[in-house]
Amino acid sequence: MLKSKIFTILLIALSINVFAGNKPVKNDGVTGIQFFKGTFKEALAKAKKENKMVMMDCYTTWCGPCKMLKSQVFVDKTLGEYMNEKYVCVAMDYENGEGPAIAQQYPVDGYPTLYFLDASGKVKKTFVGVPNANPAGAILSIAKKFGK
């Protein structure tokens, strides 16, 4: 009886440890891209005031690759440091909030779509999908071509 209780306790402890180690990385505000909280118009105004570009992540809640970008790529420290310094980054749900209206001005062919814009909203580069190899590095490379 005692052996089964010890075995059960060890099994529970091991399970907790294994599952705790498999949690996806979350953007807790320490590293990665810090997305602007506000309207698209406010983001453009902020970019103009701070002499920055705008990166808009166009996503939907059901899009698997969009979720991967958010949980595994946008949390990258190097990408975040550059983007936070040179860009005002906006995450735009294209099916909710102001997203459908923004989608009229900035249509997409698929999700996720990243728009790289100047502070007036002029499109400098559009990227659809997730880069296959080193997504954070690929996005950083694109961003550096247009970052001020």
Start-to-end CA span in the chain (Å): 69
Contacts of 115 (CB under 8 A, 6+ apart): 54, 55, 56, 58, 106, 123, 125, 126
Q: 10 Å Cβ neighbour count for 31?
A: 17
* Superfamily of segment(s) 35-146: Glutaredoxin (3.40.30.10)
Give the span between the Cα atoms of 126 and 56, in whole angstroms.
Answer: 10
Q: What is the pLDDT of residues 71-110, one digit of tens each?
A: 999 999 999 999 999 999 999 999 999 999 999 999 999 9
**In the chain, where are the structural domains located?**
35-146
Task: Give the Cα-Cα-Cα angle 122, 127, 67 (nearest 5 degrees).
Answer: 115
pLDDT for the residue numbered 2 = 47
CB 59 within 8 A of CB 112: yes
Give the span between the Cα atoms of 110 and 9, in whole angstroms.
Answer: 48
Give the span between the Cα atoms of 82 and 26, in whole angstroms.
Answer: 19
Q: Say what the pTM is.
A: 0.78
Q: What is the pLDDT of residues 21-49, one digit of tens each?
A: 333 344 445 589 999 999 999 999 999 99
